[in-house]
Amino acid sequence: MYNTILFEKKEAVLYLTLNRPEVFNAFNEDMLNELNDAFDKATGDKDIRCIVLTGAGKAFCSGQDLKDFNEKKSTFKEALDKRYNPLIKKITEINVPVICALNGVAAGAGMSLALACDYRMGVENSSMTEVFINVGLVPDSGSGFFLPRIVGYAKAFELCVTGEKITSKEALKPDF
């Protein structure tokens, strides 16, 4: 049914798995289109009571596949307007909880995807990082909205301007 994601419904739970492990589940145009379609299907399925979003292999999602982006010759604005922002909106508006099961790193737009979910839980070696600063961009795909609401303005600013990686253990600390 899909080439870059796995869509598996078990009883009332829909499992969506980003499935490009060879590139740490980096987003390409196909994956974003498939995720948008999967959330459309989930919205219309009244039997689904919960969605679990995870990644195949060692990573949750390493963000945008810049190689694919350059090959498609699309603009950042086009990608945000037509693929990323509609996906984030669907995640936040769906009437069932969306759980992010972090199985490794969530970087850049991958972190944005995780932040858009209702609940995030990670394995011990999982981490998140806002790497937009490393490529001269501001956080997009919802990070600028969700991150300050989750960790506070000062910590969100620090994470965005340093690109510091936050491990699951650090995120659990009360002073985080």
- Averages of pLDDT over runs of 10 residues in the chain (176 residues) are 96 98 96 97 96 98 83 77 93 97 95 96 92 73 89 90 88 76
| Alpha-carbon radius of gyration of the chain | 15
CATH of the domain at 100: 3.90.226.10
Structure confidence at residue 70 (pLDDT): 66
Per-residue three-class SS string for 7-75: EEEECCEEEEEECCHHHCCCECHHHHHHHHHHHHHHHCCCCCCEEEEEECCCCCECCECHHHHHHHCCC
Global confidence as pTM:
0.91
DSSP letter for 31, please. H
Structure confidence at residue 85 (pLDDT): 93
Which structural domain range is residue 108 located in? Answer: 5-172
Structure confidence at residue 115 (pLDDT): 96
Dist CA 70 CA 133 (whole Å)? 19
Q: Identify the bridge partners of residue 14 per DSSP, sorted by sequence position.
A: 9, 51
What φ, ψ does residue 22 adopt, rounded to 5°?
A: -65, -20
Candidates 24, 46, 45, 33; CA nearest to 1 is 33
Tally of domains within the chain: 1
Structure confidence at residue 136 (pLDDT): 67
Instruction: Give the neighbor-by-neighbor strand order of the sheet with 105-107.
Output: 105-107, 127-129, 165-167
